[in-house]
């Protein structure tokens, strides 16, 4: 049972350039809030893993996240703590991979703002649903951008590279 396991947290913080500009998620603010959450929940903080200026898009190399996953494999920590689920991923495919990895390594995800954790089936369901919504948001933005670009080209405006 999860409650019987000592929670050793790997705090994962990430911002992409777009995130900082749009939403003001600073790395120090994420760390401060997550450390407070860990203290409140009685988690021991093993390490803070920071990926600055890197999008969580599928295929992007995130060195700190890779290090966190290796530390989970090596049993140095057993809980990924993030501020929002989209700090981890916005891809349904990636989320399933992460969920499987956590299950195989007896580890968990605890997300502060979305108030979800993967210690039970309901937490896993909510994580999957929120990831689906987030992926849909990215896909809709991409569609609107393509439509706007096509309209600009038809109107004679040549986009700059």
Catalytic residues: 16
CA angle 115, 94, 105 (to 5 degrees): 75
Cβ neighbours of residue 141 closer than 8 Å, sequence gap 6 or more: none
CA angle 142, 143, 146 (to 5 degrees): 85
Please choose, from the candidates 56, 79, 62, the residue with its C-alpha nearest in 3D space to the C-alpha of residue 6: 79
CA 85 to CA 116: how far, in whole Å? 9
Q: Are the C-beta atoms of 79 and 6 separated by less than 8 Å?
A: no
Cα Dmax for the chain:
65
CA 39 to CA 62: how far, in whole Å? 26
CA 73 to CA 85: how far, in whole Å? 21
């Amino acid at each position: 049972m999860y409650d019987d396991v000592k929670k050793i947290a790997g705090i994962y913080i990430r911002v992409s350039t777009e995130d900082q500009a749009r939403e003001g998620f600073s790395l120090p603010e994420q760390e401060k809030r997550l450390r407070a959450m860990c203290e409140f929940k009685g988690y021991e903080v093993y390490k803070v893993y920071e990926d600055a200026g890197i999008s969580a898009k599928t295929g992007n190399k995130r060195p700190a996240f890779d290090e966190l996953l290796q530390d989970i494999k090596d049993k140095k920590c057993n809980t990924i703590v993030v501020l929002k689920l989209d700090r981890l991923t916005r891809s349904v495919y990636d989320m399933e991979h992460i969920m499987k990895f956590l299950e195989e390594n007896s580890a968990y995800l605890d997300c502060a703002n979305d108030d979800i954790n993967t210690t039970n089936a309901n937490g896993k369901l909510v994580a999957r649903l929120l990831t689906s919504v987030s992926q849909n948001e990215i896909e809709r933005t991409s569609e609107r951008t393509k439509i706007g670009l096509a309209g600009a080209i038809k109107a004679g405006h040549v986009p700059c590279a």
